Chains A and B, each alone.
Chain A
Amino acid sequence: MWFFRSPSIVYGEDSISFFNELPQRRLVIVTDGNIIRAGLLQKIKNELPSDSEILIIDDVPIEPTISYVLSLKGRIIDFNPDLIIGLGGGSCMDCAKVVFVTYERPDIDLHDITPLVNLDLRKKARLILIPTTSGTGSECSWAAVISDDDHGRKNEFASPEIIADFAIIDPAMVSSLPEPVRKSTAVDALAHAIEARSSTWKNSYSDIFSDKAVELISGNLFDAISHPENMEAVSNVHMGASMAGLAFSNSQITLAHSLGHSLGAHFKIPHGISVGIFLPHVIRFNYAESKGEYVALNKKFPPNLRKRYLYLTVENFLKVLSMPVKISDLNIKKDEYEKKMDSMVSVALESTGTVLNPRDAGRAELEMFLREIE
């Protein structure tokens, strides 16, 4: 027995017009200053029924903390919304998921957001997520990452009840993404698809989303970068990223994410870059265990990018994107890196991605990966 979980998905050009017919009228929009400056909030507002009352939370930090989320609770309860909208990258969407819980269940401790606790949500409101990057897949997932107040630990809160009611995959929300963000978030999405395909929890449902995600991302990303006005290419990458989100949310991520989270937390590196740097190494390490999956995925890359083996293809893909491959490309000093080695191994070991990797990896193997990029 197992499940396939997904929000209802509204996709393609003009999908934000979905808001024209919204039955709700009291809306909270959880977003950040960059999204507002990029004019994306206004685009959503233009689509809302004219008699909507809106409370805008406009200051979600890059790494939202538990006390930040809790600080919003009173205002939101006072406002009494019937819809919560998360608009932004992973931080805004994750924050909206947890805000949704604190509003529905003010009595609950955030650490009780686990699949083992029946939260009994949706007594007051619904949740809609609108991604403004093509990468995190948070709009499709049942997890939310919220940091401890001292940023020492990132808590992964997870519950099937925090899956959005609707995910809106509109390319207009990502048409003006800065190029480095488009690249690094797409690499993150590619890693979601590849890792979901080889996790020990992989299944027939997650497999089909992995395969299509790799096809859409690898086949359209370069067009989307060089011609961001090509809405078909932008939309395909955006859909691919959401499919990768569905894939890993219904399977799991593996070692490249365990290592990437750890490296990223120790040296403040954008998620897509820190995960991408390990991806070819992890594929090579897992090759014997996941050969069938990797061969299938390799065929999904366009012929001009494809190499004989998936790890070579991914290496090539990252090279064409000019992504970092060594710690020197990230301006990390060797002695600093060495000093943090033991701690990086420990954090990677704690990650569930390590347990669900198709090939066993303990401290020695994790250290080996960290040295391969040194």
Chain B
Amino acid sequence: MYKFPSEEWAKAYYEKLNANSDYRDSARDWEGDITLVINADQGLERDAYLYLDLYHGTCRRYIFTTDPEHIPKSEFTYSGKFGNWKKLINSEVDPIKGILTGKFKMKGSMSKIMRYTKAAKLMVNTASLVPSVF
């Protein structure tokens, strides 16, 4: 089991994403990095950041940190409170509905991301595959 969020969880996620052939297929033209921001709430003391460099269906590099200074400026950010991330990973919240109901915020070109909703869904599904504790 991997504690979310943590370096170990991030590494397990990175490996699972790169092993996911459905994801590779649906993101095969994607170029763009994204930072997942896990905002502190009652369950988490400090904000955490997971930077993912996504390119043509693979994740070339990841950075996990609690220091925003260590994160490169990325094309997209997807942020939400820790409690909502927990629901997302447990498949209790749909990632797009999460945005539309204000549980998550997405920054970056929406017209670009809307062409890759399948890849985005598979990214979230992959997070659910990481055995997680909170």
Please give the residue numbers on chain A whose beta carbons come within 8 Å of chain B beta carbons, in ascending order.
1-2, 111-112, 114-116, 155-156, 200-201, 346, 349-350, 352, 354-355, 360, 362-363
Contacts and interface: CB of A to CB of B under 8 A. Distances in A.
Main secondary structure of the interface of A (DSSP, over half): mixed
Given A1-B101, A116-B99, A363-B25, A111 B118 contact: no
Interface in B76-134: 94, 97, 99-101, 105-106, 109-111, 114-118, 120-121
B22 interface: yes
Contact of A349 (B94, B111, B118): B118
15 contacts: A111-B109, A115-B99, A116-B106, A155-B111, A200-B94, A346-B29, A350-B115, A350-B116, A350-B117, A352-B117, A355-B118, A355-B121, A362-B22, A363-B25, A363-B26
Contact of B97 (A2, A155, A362): A2
Contact of B110 (A116, A349, A350): A116
Nearest to B26: A349
A355 B117 contact: yes
Given A2-B101, A116-B99, A156 B114 contact: yes
A122 B22 CA distance: 43
Interface of B: 22, 25-26, 29, 94, 97, 99-101, 105-106, 109-111, 114-118, 120-121
Contacts, number: 44
Contacts of B121: 355
Contacts of A352: 114, 117
A114 B97 contact: no
Contact of A362 (B26, B94, B105, B116): B26
Contacts of B22: 360, 362
A350 B106 contact: no
Residue in A112, A156, A360 with the greatest tally of chain B CB atoms within 10 Å? A360
A340 to B, nearest CB: 17
A354 B99 CA distance: 19
Residue in A155, A200, A350 with the greatest tally of chain B CB atoms within 10 Å? A350
A10 B117 CA distance: 35
Nearest to A258: B118
Contacts of A111: 109-111
Contacts of A112: 110
In the A-B complex, the 7 residue pairs with the smallest Cβ-Cβ separation, listed nearest first, are A114-B110, A350-B115, A355-B117, A111-B111, A352-B117, A355-B121, A1-B101
Contacts of B115: 350
A112 B109 CA distance: 9
Contacts of B94: 200-201
Nearest to A352: B117
A124 B118 CA distance: 38
B20 to A, nearest CB: 11
Residue in A114, A355, A360 with the greatest tally of chain B CB atoms within 10 Å? A355
Given A114-B110, A362-B26, A350 B101 contact: no
Contacts of B109: 111
Residue in A2, A112, A201, A349 with the greatest tally of chain B CB atoms within 10 Å? A349
Contacts of B105: 116
B7 to A, nearest CB: 30
Contact of A354 (B97, B111, B118): B118
